[in-house]
């Protein structure tokens, strides 16, 4: 295995971790206006993710940094194509972070409601746009021979990518609902179970449809082994999501959250496996596509990155695991 392939796998793992962990706090933020019918309930919901939401965003920063260092051509071409969507995501994440910090600074109803709206919008926008962005990465964009985006913004709003946005939205809502059921007691937990029962079928249909469309139309041609792995991972994702729905119906919150996490991680892995060895296909000409070979940094750079990651990654994972352990108890509602 070349180091470029290893770093492609590492970036896929980082995105899977980000979608699982940030996915549930996006889901909680989206559900805030619907389940938080009182200030007390909204405070309980926010407290479930309060100690961990900023740590979850580290996965995104690490994935972006790893892409920039390991595949600079991929990073540059994505920003030339997705500049506006990525800017909207960045603004949404900034507003969301400020809202978490400022919501409790004043004991005033309108003040808190304004920041609650910011949390909702700051969670909703990325939940949709990440799926749209990944849909376009898999489908391919209009890259010219210089690996510069030659299309326009509305080229990104195609049916396949929009289905990707719907898939991530429904998956994150389901993830947020089962997380709330796991972390709360009383009325909030009961409402979270009800929402998960409604969101489960939508997530299975939207997520399953997006994966099926990917496997049928946008899998990298000529790679039978990775294609088989991608189909297998997609099947695991579908079974896991069905398991999450069944576990939620039986009010087995830990199993429901675990199954949902496995479903999201497997779906992300299936998408990256379907993409390989491309990192950004060109819809103009396959010869213009970026791959793990022609988009990567030098072997020396990748080696230095590998050594640094092997030294520091265990400490980061241990610290985040410790954080979740410390704040593992349910919150009374």
**What pLDDT does 15 receive?**
97
Number of domains comprising the chain: 1
Q: Could you tell me which residues come within 8 angstroms of residue 50 by beta carbon, excluding any fewer than 6 positions away?
A: 100
**What pLDDT does 259 receive?**
97
- From the number of C-beta atoms within 10 Å of its C-beta (0-12, 13-18, 19+), residue 160 rates as middle
Confidence of residue 117 (pLDDT cuts 50, 70, 90): very high
Residue 57 within any structural domain of the chain = yes
Distance from C-alpha of 148 to C-alpha of 146, rounded to nearest angstrom: 5
Query: Mean pLDDT, to the nearest integer, of 162-190?
Result: 96
Q: Could you tell me which residues come within 8 angstroms of residue 190 by beta carbon, excluding any fewer than 6 positions away?
A: none
Question: What letter would DSSP give residue 141?
Answer: B
Using one digit for the tens of pLDDT, what is the confidence trace for 85-101? 999 999 999 999 999 99
The parent domain of residue 85 ranges over 3-326
Residue 35 within any structural domain of the chain = yes
Using one digit for the tens of pLDDT, what is the confidence trace for 63-73? 999 999 999 99
Residue 122 within any structural domain of the chain = yes
Confidence of residue 243 (pLDDT cuts 50, 70, 90): very high
Distance from C-alpha of 265 to C-alpha of 297, rounded to nearest angstrom: 27
Residue 333 within any structural domain of the chain = no
**What pLDDT does 225 receive?**
82
Q: Which tokens go with 38?
A: 């009182």
Question: What letter would DSSP give residue 156?
Answer: G
- For the cut 90, the answer to whether the pLDDT of residue 220 exceeds it is no
Query: Mean pLDDT, to the nearest integer, of 271-279?
Result: 94
Residue 137 within any structural domain of the chain = yes
The neighbour count for residue 299, using CB atoms within 10 Å, is: 11
The label of the residue with tokens 């576990």 reads: 247
Question: What letter would DSSP give residue 29?
Answer: H
Distance from C-alpha of 144 to C-alpha of 174, rounded to nearest angstrom: 39
Of 279, 280, 277, 291, the residue nearest 226 (C-alpha): 277
Using one digit for the tens of pLDDT, what is the confidence trace for 26-65? 999 999 999 988 889 999 999 999 999 999 999 999 999 9
Confidence of residue 1 (pLDDT cuts 50, 70, 90): low
Q: In this prediction, what percent of the chain has a pLDDT beyond 70?
A: 100
Question: What letter would DSSP give residue 292?
Answer: T
DSSP H or E segment with residue 279: strand 278-280
Provide the CB-side half-sphere exposure for 245 (13 A, CA). Answer: 17
Quote the Cα angle for 294-296-300, to 5°: 125
**What pLDDT does 36 receive?**
84
Using one digit for the tens of pLDDT, what is the confidence trace for 253-268? 999 999 999 999 999 9
- For the cut 80, the answer to whether the pLDDT of residue 297 exceeds it is yes
Residue 332 within any structural domain of the chain = no
Residue 331 within any structural domain of the chain = no
- For the cut 80, the answer to whether the pLDDT of residue 222 exceeds it is no
The label of the residue with tokens 């199993």 reads: 255
- For the cut 80, the answer to whether the pLDDT of residue 333 exceeds it is no
141 beta partners:
282
Distance from C-alpha of 222 to C-alpha of 242, rounded to nearest angstrom: 31
Query: Mean pLDDT, to the nearest integer, of 113-128?
Result: 96
Query: Mean pLDDT, to the nearest integer, of 9-30?
Result: 96
Query: Mean pLDDT, to the nearest integer, of 168-173?
Result: 97
Q: What is the CATH number of the domain that holds 305?
A: 1.20.1630.10
Residue 322 within any structural domain of the chain = yes
């Amino acid at each position: 295995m070349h180091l470029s392939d290893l770093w492609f796998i590492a970036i896929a793992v980082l995105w899977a971790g980000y979608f699982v962990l940030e996915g549930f706090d996006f889901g909680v933020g989206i559900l805030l206006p619907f389940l938080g019918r009182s200030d007390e309930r909204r405070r309980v919901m926010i407290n479930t993710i309060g100690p961990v939401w900023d740590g979850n965003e580290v996965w995104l920063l690490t994935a972006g940094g790893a892409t920039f260092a390991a595949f600079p051509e991929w990073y540059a071409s994505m920003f030339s194509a997705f500049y506006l969507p990525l800017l909207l995501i960045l603004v949404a994440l900034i507003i969301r972070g400020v809202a978490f910090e400022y919501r409790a600074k004043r004991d005033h109803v309108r003040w808190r409601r304004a920041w609650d709206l910011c949390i909702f919008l700051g969670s909703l926008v990325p939940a949709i746009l990440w799926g749209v962005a990944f849909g376009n990465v898999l489908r391919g964009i209009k890259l010219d021979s210089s690996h510069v985006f030659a299309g326009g913004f509305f080229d990104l709003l195609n049916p396949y990518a929009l289905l990707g946005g719907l898939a991530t939205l429904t998956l994150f809502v389901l993830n947020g609902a089962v997380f709330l059921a796991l972390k709360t007691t009383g009325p909030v937990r009961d409402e979270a179970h009800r929402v998960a029962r409604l969101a489960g079928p939508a997530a299975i249909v939207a997520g399953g449809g997006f994966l099926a469309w990917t496997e049928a139309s946008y899998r990298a041609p000529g790679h039978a082994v990775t294609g088989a792995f991608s189909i297998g991972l997609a099947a695991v994702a579908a079974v896991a999501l069905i398991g999450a729905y069944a576990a939620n119906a039986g009010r087995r919150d830990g199993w429901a959250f675990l199954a949902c996490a496995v479903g999201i991680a497997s779906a992300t892995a299936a998408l990256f496996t379907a993409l390989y060895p491309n990192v950004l296909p060109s819809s103009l000409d396959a010869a213009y596509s970026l791959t793990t070979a022609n988009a990567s940094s030098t072997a020396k750079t990748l080696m230095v990155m590998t050594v640094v990651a092997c030294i520091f990654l265990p400490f980061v994972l241990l610290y985040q695991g410790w954080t979740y352990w410390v704040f593992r108890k349910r919150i009374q509602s």
